[in-house]
């Protein structure tokens, strides 16, 4: 049993070399990128209002905005080009629901994938026990894949609206003085979008990761193995790959797919060989 011998030398952290564990690590890294780039964003645009009456001009009106993009609360002062008077104006739109939804999903996905990584490494026997771990893991992974798709799409749409609402050429149109042809208005600088574009990319990357991981978690549930067995295929590995690696002898018996499946067949040659080869039998 070469595989069993090979697996015997596997250290705890080798679990991260399995697709499921490795993807989990990518998931929490990518989740951090997603919420950090979106939640940490601050942007600035600048417009100029060059009044006919030069003294009241302001050639660099700075407008700052940031997450969660409640643009209708972002105000700035623009000259009225009349006797040094000015007006207070507000940007338009409230994109906080999409932005906050996206960040919330990212944070929860981060917490879950981090927790899952810890469970895979330190609680693998409990994870495989009774098949409950893989089952919950499977359902949560499916739900998160869906939420990533929905929240990334919503956020991508909101971002395109935010870009429109903060375009200096559009913001100029809000300024009353600019409606008078004699005053000249211009855009000085638009906001930088690289951070927010990155957050959308990471949102969809996360969707791909989680959706891809559905398959690897599915394999742990043992349903896959059941199907193969019914087809009369060759004896499969145990459903829970983590149990297969059998870190400690006591976990070996209970963590296998056999009991968990309600399949009463005696342990196969594979598990016996595996069990006795890997560990000095404590009993
Ligand atoms: C122009 O507007 C900025 C705010 O965007 C303000 O800090 C500055 O004092 C204004 N300049 C003048 C000349 O009013």
Q: Is the CB of 31 within 6 Å of ligand 1?
A: no
Q: Is the CB of 238 within 6 Å of ligand 1?
A: no
Assign 125 to helix, strand or coil: helix
Q: Is the CB of 47 within 6 Å of ligand 1?
A: no
In ligand 1, the atom with minimum distance to the C-alpha of 62 is 5
pLDDT in tens, 61-119: 999 999 999 999 999 999 999 988 999 999 999 999 999 999 999 999 999 999 999 99
CA count, 13 A, side-chain hemisphere, 64? 2
pLDDT in tens, 182-217: 999 999 999 999 999 999 999 999 999 999 999 999
Q: Is the CB of 56 within 6 Å of ligand 1?
A: no
pLDDT in tens, 230-269: 555 444 445 576 645 444 444 334 434 333 344 444 444 3
Q: How far is CA 62 from CA 49, 127, 141, 157, 166, in A?
A: 11, 54, 44, 25, 12
Give the pLDDT score at 239. Answer: 59
DSSP label at 74? -
In ligand 1, the atom with minimum distance to the C-alpha of 61 is 5
Contact 240, 255 (CB under 8 A): yes
Torsion of CA 127, 128, 134, 136, to 10 degrees: -50
Q: How many other CB atoms sit within 10 Å of the CB of residue 263?
A: 14
Q: Is the CB of 61 within 6 Å of ligand 1?
A: yes
Sequence-distant contacts of 257-263: CB under 8 A, at least 24 apart: 257/131, 257/222, 257/225, 260/128, 260/129, 260/130, 260/131, 260/222, 261/131, 261/222, 261/225, 261/226
Give 48's strand partners: 186
Give the pLDDT score at 226. Answer: 63
């Amino acid at each position: 049993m070469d595989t069993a011998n090979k697996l015997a030398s596997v250290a705890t952290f080798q679990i991260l070399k399995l697709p499921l564990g490795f993807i989990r690590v990518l998931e929490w890294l990518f989740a951090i990128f997603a919420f950090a780039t979106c939640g940490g964003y601050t942007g600035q645009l600048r417009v100029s209002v060059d009044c006919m009456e030069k003294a009241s001009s302001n050639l660099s009106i700075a407008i700052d905005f940031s997450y969660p993009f409640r643009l209708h609360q972002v105000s700035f002062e623009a000259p009225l080009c009349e006797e040094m008077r000015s007006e207070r104006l507000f940007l338009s739109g409230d994109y906080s629901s999409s932005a906050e939804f996206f960040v919330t999903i990212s944070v929860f996905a981060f917490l879950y994938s981090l927790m899952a990584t810890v469970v895979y490494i330190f609680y693998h026997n409990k994870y495989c026990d009774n098949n409950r771990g893989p089952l919950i893991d499977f359902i949560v992974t499916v739900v998160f894949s869906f939420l990533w798709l929905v929240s990334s799409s919503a956020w991508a749409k909101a971002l395109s609206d935010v870009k429109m609402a903060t375009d200096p050429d559009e913001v100029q149109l809000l300024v009353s003085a600019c409606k008078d042809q004699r005053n000249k208005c211009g855009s000085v600088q638009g906001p930088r979008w690289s951070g927010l574009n990155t957050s959308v990319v990471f949102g969809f990357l996360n969707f791909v990761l989680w959706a891809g991981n559905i398959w690897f978690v599915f394999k742990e549930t043992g349903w896959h193995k059941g199907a193969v067995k019914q087809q009369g295929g060759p004896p499969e590995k145990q459903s829970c790959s983590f149990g297969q690696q059998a870190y400690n002898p006591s976990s070996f018996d209970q963590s296998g797919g056999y009991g968990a499946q309600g399949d009463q067949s005696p342990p196969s040659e594979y598990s016996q060989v595996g069990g006795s080869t890997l560990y000095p039998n404590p009993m």
